[in-house]
Amino acid sequence: MGRARAVTFVLEAVGVRRGDTAILEDITATIRSGGCTAIAGPSGAGKSTLLRLLNRMLDPTAGRVLLDGTPLPALDVLALRRRVGLVAQQPTLLTDTVLDDLRVGRPDLTEEEARSLLDTTGLPPAFAERRTADLSGGEAQRVCLARALALRPEVLLLDEPTSALDRASAEAIEGVVSDLRAAGGTAVLVSHDTGQARRLADDVLVLRAGRLEEQGPPGDVGYLRAAASP
């Protein structure tokens, strides 16, 4: 993985409403460059919603999100999504074969590069020839991660990336995050696995009922300490 340009997100009094329901309220936070930020909290807290704001899969109904000081709506959305790759919890494959899927954003991707990307995500290189319709949920999610990596993003947004994986496969995905950090890139990770958040994150945002309850290094966040207690 080449050296990535580090970028910083700032959320200023961000809110998201659906009708009369507040999904996020008054979120003010900085997601700093060159590391991993974990978004933690109970189910329904708004974690995935916050993640989707960062590459404009969703826009806030209040406040604003900035990338390196520029409000996201001022950026070309397709260029933004190449820089800031999202791997959703529910994978969406776009073509009939794995190799073609990896080439969706990189038509010039060679078979050798494709096989290397699959290996990086813990899949056998021979998966390049597999039909996407025959993949399990966990396999499809890793193909989506490889597809995102093919674009050489500056930021990876990962929504529960290891929830459907065994331990060995999960370790491969955690290795991708570690490699991105080492290359100067930025990762933002939604995870119910508090142990994973402690292992990978430099900073943690804890959401509860749509509000930011805590923010800080893993060792300072009470939500993670409570989860680790016997």
Q: What is the CATH number of domain 9-89+155-228?
A: 3.40.50.300
Residuewise pLDDT in 10s, the chain (230 residues): 445 555 689 999 999 999 999 999 999 999 998 899 999 999 999 999 999 999 999 999 999 999 999 999 999 999 999 999 999 988 899 999 999 999 999 999 999 999 999 999 999 999 999 999 999 988 999 999 999 999 999 999 999 988 878 888 889 999 999 999 888 889 999 998 899 999 999 999 999 999 999 999 999 999 998 876 55
The CA-based angle 128-94-200, given to 5 degrees, is: 70
Q: How far apart are CA 132 and CA 103, in angstroms?
A: 13
Q: Which helix (H) or strand (E) holds 120?
A: helix 111-120
At 176, phi and psi to the nearest 5? -60, -45
Return the closest-CA partner of residue 40 out of 198, 219, 228, 230.
198
pTM (two decimals): 0.92
The CA-atom distances, in angstroms, between 70 and each of 54, 65, 121 are 12, 8, 32
Tell how strand 186-190 and strand 9-18 pair up.
Answer: unpaired
What are the extents of the domains in the chain?
9-89+155-228
Residues 6+ apart with CB under 8 A from 75: 67
Q: How far apart are CA 158 and CA 23, in angstroms?
A: 19
Helices (H), 15-65: 47-53
